[in-house]
Amino acid sequence: MRRFGERLAERVHEAQVDVFVMGPHVPPRKADSELSSSARLRKFLIQRLQSEGYAVPPDLKAVIALTEKHLGKGVDLATVEHTFAEEVDLLIFIPDSNGSAAEAGYFAGLTRLRKTHLGTKAVVLLSATSKSNPGYVALGPARQLRAAGARVHYVNYSHRNVIWKIVENEVADARSLKVVRPTLGLRL
């Protein structure tokens, strides 16, 4: 039995986890001081995940170029992001800009209309202020994603270490599920 446990632990440890971090646009040449706290958080998470060896889709222009290469010119960004979302193990939403709120709404709509599994592999990082003063994103897309299985956390976007602990736990869960899913014949 101990050998089984060791082999299982080894498989979990070796499982590659792919993460898609959606949130405010991070212009490549802007200094951190010029970015919003949520954009700085997104940049931090992408860099940290990459430095820890996780696969993270590249910036928007690279994503579009890669997708157009395989799906043809004129493919829309919603299709591109949906394609990436289907392929990754963990989705992280930081819905703190117009575009990222639209992304959260789009994926919330997909979970409701198509009954996809995307909600079960999503984590939503909402601004702590939206807990006491909820707006559309908290009451609409985040609530719908939670109903579809997403984990919703209210955080201070400047508290990177606290948020990193949340993300580490989510990645560990995604890694474990990646090992267990094929064994159980599940598609999550």
> pLDDT digit string (tens) for 146-179?
998 899 999 999 999 999 999 999 998 888 776 6
d(CA 154, CA 166): 11
- Domain ranges within the chain, ordered by starting residue: 19-178
Token pair listed for 85: 């979302």
In the CATH hierarchy, which fold is given to the domain comprising 19-178? Rossmann fold (3.40.50)
DSSP state of 59: -
Q: Are 121 and 145 in contact (CB under 8 A)?
A: no
Residue 68 CB contacts under 8 Å (≥ 6 apart), including other chains: 74, 75
pLDDT tens-digit readout, 79-122: 888 888 888 889 999 999 888 899 899 999 888 776 667 888 99
> Which residues fall within 8 angstroms of residue 120, CB to CB, at 6 or more apart?
148, 149, 150, 188
Closest CA to 97 of 177, 46, 15, 23: 23
**For residues 83 and 136, what is the distance between their CA atoms, to the nearest angstrom?**
26
- The amino acid at 31: A
pTM: 0.84
